[in-house]
Amino acid sequence: MKQKLLFGFAMLSYFAMAQTTFLPKETINASTGDAPYTMTSGLIDGDAFPDIIIGTYLGNTIEWYKNNGDNTFAIQPLITTTLEGIGFIKLADLNGDTFLDVIASGYSNDSVAWYPNDGSGNFLTENIISSAVAGASGFSVGDINNDTFLDIAVTAYDNNEVLWFSNDGTGTFTLDANKIDDTLVTPGAIDMKDIDGDGDLDVLVGTAFYGSDVIEIFRNNLAIDGTVSFTKDATTVATGKTGIFHVSFEDIDGDADLDILATEVSYGGGPTGNLYWYEDNGSGYTETIFTTTLTNPAMALFKDLDNDGLNDIVLGNGASGVGNDLVWFKNNSSGNFDAEDIIDDTQSQAFVLAIEDYDNDGDLDIATSAYNQDALNYFENQKIVLSVSDVQFQNLTIYPNPTKDYLTFEGFNTNINVTVYDVLGKQVRVKNVTNGETLNVSELAAGIYTIKINNAVTSKFIKE
């Protein structure tokens, strides 16, 4: 059935203040598999509502929860129970069929595996990428050799290696002979982005020896013939840390250069952990420590919670026992952040989180998993009051949905900026449109896309 996407905008002046509040915790499942330790989110079953995937470290389960579109979720048949010590999980289209597949690492059986999605949320087979990654831990997905196919870089915690596997486009992976690194002790957290602007993916790694831990960058020396090799930077990003849990390349201060966001979970009797921001100053890295009440900072995500066009920091806590466990820092631009705002203090070891607009109301909600409580929880972001300059929107409609060729935009009285993203977050269309104007999407592949209006309000449409 064709539908219209409707945005209801209140009559707001330019000086209206944005305010972000979260409803109290809703528990999606109070009895997940034992010790949920990793999670991700995305469009699994062909509808417009992001679903949730979790992996349990002691239960050895990968569970997916269907989003019903009304702030409720329903557990589906288990994806697997054979991968042991699940420590990391991601969604990506590994075989080029436009559907998001599940990739996971199993620390206890040294394995990295992927599970193809048929587009309806059925995961019928397990494909082992490798069963010889000693202490398979974190991994990152991206096109390392620039052949247009998604490859995988993974940390082998027990063998002090960072490896990568090339994808032939069908989901068949080959271990590359050129390791990313074999010098770091207990590498764990990993991320990939093009930090130097040379068109290939560089690698960021943090170690978790829980004493004298480091953060290092490895630059990709991709050759014209597709040969990949990596060189460790002469300058170490950080040293002397205690258990790096999370690292990611992010533009924290909005200067168009990638900075580094990292957390130190600090177990083993060490000092209280920290949330760090590292900025390249030309001769090294300037370290900024955020003040937080969280004693064991774990996952940190960089997302726009208040729809002001600036990504905020959302932080989970690895501390055992109930206390402040989920907080966020509002971004005021140029690297200036408000003090932390507490979202929840009722979970125990809420290591990880996933952030999406789960109810498609135009703001980002949060899902978390509580390791000690075997619980999957949900925090709904209440409707945000948007600041709108001069223009007062009454009813913005976008139709038809689904569509094969064009989207029509109506119900507003000035130009709006429309940006379209695919399921991987890649920008695929951008255009300023006037009332009644259309956007040509005929050349896009079939699938589900996100529309962002004026960098503030989002919704989804289906391309047939």
Give me the domains of the chain, ranges plus CATH numbers. 19-379 (2.130.10.130), 395-463 (2.60.40.3080)
Of 74, 75, 66, the residue nearest 44 (C-alpha): 66
Which residues touch 260 (CB under 8 Å, ≥6 apart)?
204, 215, 237, 247, 248, 249, 250, 276, 277, 278, 279, 285
Cα gap 283→266, rounded to integer Å: 28
How far apart (Å, rounded) are the C-alpha atoms in residues 191 and 184?
A: 15
What is the number of alpha carbons within 13 Å of residue 156 lying toward its C-beta?
A: 21
Residues in Cβ contact with 269 at an 8 Å cutoff, skipping those fewer than 6 apart: none
Q: What per-residue confidence (pLDDT) applies to 169? A: 97
- Write down the pTM of the prediction: 0.81
CA pair distance 195, 217, nearest whole angstrom: 9
> What is the C-alpha to C-alpha distance for residues 123 and 403, in angstroms, rounded to an integer?
27
Taking the C-alpha atoms of residue 250 and residue 241, their distance in angstroms, rounded to an integer, is 20
pLDDT at res. 452: 83
**Whole-number Å distance between alpha carbons of 449 and 419:** 10
Q: Residue 79 carries which DSSP code? A: S
Between strands 213-220 and 238-241, the pairing is antiparallel
Exposed/middle/buried for residue 119 (C-beta within 10 Å: 0-12, 13-18, 19+): middle
Cα 288 to the center of its chain, rounded Å: 22
Q: Tell me what pLDDT residue 270 has.
A: 55
How confident is the chain (464 residues) per 10-residue block, as mean pLDDT?
A: 42 42 95 98 96 99 96 97 98 98 99 98 97 99 98 99 98 98 98 97 97 97 96 96 97 94 81 91 92 96 93 96 91 96 96 96 94 97 54 67 89 84 81 90 88 76 86
- Gyration radius (Cα) of the chain, Å: 22
Q: Tell me the C-alpha distance between 120 and 112, whole Å.
A: 23
